[in-house]
């Protein structure tokens, strides 16, 4: 694939806050934007990545819908800036905030440019106590009607009920029916049928098809014409085969794309990973080959893989370094792309830019920045205050953490009861005394599992972690900076 624009680098994953990263892109350069930001669901996700039970999580950190919209508004303004006048914009969300998002997008992209609210049936029926089961996501689709935008109609299969009711099956398994050629728009015409002059009101194109078409397998027919017993064309005479029709034009209700099943090969363990067919459908509908697709919240890169497979150019942005590494691995594995600067310069392969730190840099940055880096890299949330942290620098919230009333009033993420502590030490070798302090903090806060990040651990420290587990049945997982930085974590994760 050639580079489509000298102004813009494509096949690039940018690691960082999209608000900052988007500023690097020129105005009106993107053909299709898809975003799937963390929902305003007041819930934090945790994933168990593979057998090692390595933790990845990311938080839906928006405490209220207003905060969520305030977070998203400047990002959507930037996205609108980089979108071409002929481009399309898809915003994937759910019932928590979809109505507020619609109002915000109407303001930014123009109410008249709203094209569809797509309902994607995300999950199967289940019991939501005292209300109807919530089973769908909402995808808001905008494109500038005035300028004209790329639109490639997509089709879905006919329902069995419709096929059974309207079509006849042949022994070969093909379905056919006779279609009326009568077209009130057209004048009466005469044509020769086996030496007899037949009068038939028909459409000229249809006529050509009737007489030029080879004989079909349909009984009692001539060419593409169904015949009466007396050998003349029947009223509904034109033979149509089901497999020659494109299908039903795609509607705004998408119930035919299943969520990723637990055992699916596609599944990477990322909690909000979307199925590839969903992204392929959007990309096929709203872009052409070599167009530029942008996903500014790209998670494990579903949109990038779909774009690459469909020969589009793409740009991905994600704030999580681990997500960036996981999607790089996915592009290498699934799309057989090389992650290589030289290759990329020659129009092949891809690159990941702005991954935060090297080990050397991490040794020299201020301790609080180091703590933030480590906690975020693990998918946790850093403690807001750096003093009086009582031996805990951050927290990981598992799926299903429910807010408590008291915490909610306090307006903090502390409102979740269920969390794992993270302790971070910017030390060459963490020793036993630091482990002792972390153990005390875990006992005090009644935690069953915690994470300790450092450049290395003394053998005393590791022995103590083991003994602590034997004594108290509390797990401390020691993680080195190298493990977090290295591909080894991404490999263990995927």
Ligand X SMILES: C[S@@+](CC[C@H](N)C(=O)[O-])C[C@H]1O[C@@H](n2cnc3c(N)ncnc32)[C@H](O)[C@@H]1O
In whole angstroms, give the CA distance from residue 13 to residue 23.
15
User: Whose Cβ is closer to ligand X: residue 92's or residue 447's?
Assistant: 92
Which is nearest to 426 in space by CA: 485, 361, 377, 371? 371
End-to-end CA distance of the chain: 28
Q: Number of residues in contact with ligand X, rule: CB under 6 A?
A: 20
Q: Does 297 bind ligand X (CB under 6 A)?
A: yes
Q: How far is CA 277 from CA 151, 303, 424, in A?
A: 18, 10, 40
Per-residue b or e along 289-307, where b marks 16 or more CB atoms closer than 10 Å to that residue's CB:
eebbbbbbbbbbbbbbbbb
Please, what is the minimum distance in Å from the beta carbon of residue 21 to ligand X? 7
Q: Hey, which residues between 7 and 26 contact ligand X (CB under 6 A)?
A: 17-18
Please, what is the minimum distance in Å from the beta carbon of residue 121 to ligand X? 17
Q: Does 318 bind ligand X (CB under 6 A)?
A: yes
Q: Hey, which residues between 32 and 51 contact ligand X (CB under 6 A)?
A: 36-38
Please, what is the minimum distance in Å from the beta carbon of residue 89 to ligand X? 15
x/- binding map, residues 77-116, to ligand X, per CB under 6 A?
Answer: ----------------------------------------
In whole angstroms, give the CA distance from residue 194 to residue 231.
9
**DSSP reduced 3-state for 43:** coil
Q: Does 322 bind ligand X (CB under 6 A)?
A: no
Q: Does 317 bind ligand X (CB under 6 A)?
A: yes
- Classify burial at 343, counting beta carbons within 10 Å of its beta carbon; exposed 0-12, middle 13-18, buried 19 or more: middle
Q: Using CB under 6 A, which of 115, 144, 320, 426 touches ligand X?
A: 320
User: Whose Cβ is closer to ligand X: residue 79's or residue 292's?
Assistant: 79
Q: Using CB under 6 A, which of 44, 57, 88, 273 touches ligand X?
A: 273
User: Whose Cβ is closer to ligand X: residue 91's or residue 420's?
Assistant: 91
x/- binding map, residues 48-67, to ligand X, per CB under 6 A?
Answer: ----------x---------
Q: Which stretch binds ligand X (CB under 6 A): 118-126, 143-151, 317-325, 480-488?
A: 317-325
DSSP result, 115-157: EEEEEEE-S----BTTB----EEEEEEEE-TTT-------EEP
Residues contacting residue 79 through CB under 8 Å, at least 6 positions apart: 22, 33, 35, 89, 294, 296
Sites of contact with ligand X (CB under 6 A):
17-18, 36-38, 58, 270, 272-274, 297-300, 302, 317-320, 323
């Amino acid at each position: 694939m050639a580079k489509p624009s000298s102004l813009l680098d494509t096949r690039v994953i940018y690691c960082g806050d999209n608000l900052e990263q988007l500023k690097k892109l020129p105005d009106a350069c993107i053909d299709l934007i898809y975003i799937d930001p963390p929902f305003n669901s007041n819930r934090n996700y945790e994933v168990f990545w593979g057998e090692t039970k390595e933790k990845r999580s990311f938080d839906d950190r928006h405490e209220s819908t207003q905060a969520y919209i305030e977070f998203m508004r400047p990002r959507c303004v930037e996205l609108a800036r980089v979108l071409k006048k002929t481009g399309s914009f898809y915003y994937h969300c759910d019932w928590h905030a979809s109505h507020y998002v619609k109002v915000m997008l109407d303001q930014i992209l123009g109410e008249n440019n709203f094209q569809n609210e797509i309902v994607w049936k995300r999950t199967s029926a289940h019991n939501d106590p005292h209300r109807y089961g919530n089973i769908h996501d909402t995808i808001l689709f905008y494109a500038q009607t005035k300028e004209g935008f790329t639109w490639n109609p997509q089709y879905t299969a006919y329902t069995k009920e419709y096929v059974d009711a309207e079509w006849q099956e042949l022994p070969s398994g093909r379905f056919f029916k006779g279609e009326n050629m009568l077209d009130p728009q057209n004048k009466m015409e005469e044509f020769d049928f086996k030496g007899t002059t037949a009068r038939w009101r028909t459409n000229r194109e249809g006529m050509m098809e009737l007489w030029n078409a080879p004989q079909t397998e349909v009984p009692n027919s001539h060419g593409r014409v169904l015949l009466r017993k007396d050998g003349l064309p029947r009223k509904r005479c034109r033979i149509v085969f089901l497999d020659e029709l494109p299908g039903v034009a795609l509607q705004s209700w998408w119930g035919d794309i299943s969520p990723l099943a637990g055992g699916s090969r596609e599944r990477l363990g990322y909690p909000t990973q979307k199925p590839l067919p969903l992204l392929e459908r959007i990309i096929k509908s709203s872009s052409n080959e070599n167009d530029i697709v942008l996903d500014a919240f790209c998670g494990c890169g579903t949109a990038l893989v779909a774009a690459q497979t469909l020969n589009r150019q793409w740009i991905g942005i994600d704030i999580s370094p681990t997500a960036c590494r996981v999607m790089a691995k996915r592009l290498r594995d699934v799309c057989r792309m090389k992650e290589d600067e030289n290759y990329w310069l020659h129009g092949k392969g891809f690159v990941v830019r702005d991954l935060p730190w090297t080990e050397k840099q991490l040794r020299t940055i201020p301790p609080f920045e180091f703590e933030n880096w480590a906690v975020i890299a693990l998918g946790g949330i850093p403690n807001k205050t750096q003093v009086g942290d009582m031996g805990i620098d951050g927290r990981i919230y598992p799926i299903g953490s429910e807010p408590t009333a008291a915490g909610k009033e306090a307006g903090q993420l502390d409102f979740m009861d269920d969390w794992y502590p993270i302790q971070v030490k910017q030390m060459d070798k963490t020793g036993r005394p630091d482990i002792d302090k972390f153990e005390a903090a875990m006992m005090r806060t009644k935690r069953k599992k915690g994470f300790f990040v450092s450049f290395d651990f003394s053998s005393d420290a590791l022995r103590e972690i083991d003994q602590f587990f034997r004594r108290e049945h509390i797990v401390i997982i020691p993680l080195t900076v190298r493990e977090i930085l290295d591909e080894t974590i991404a490999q263990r994760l995927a």
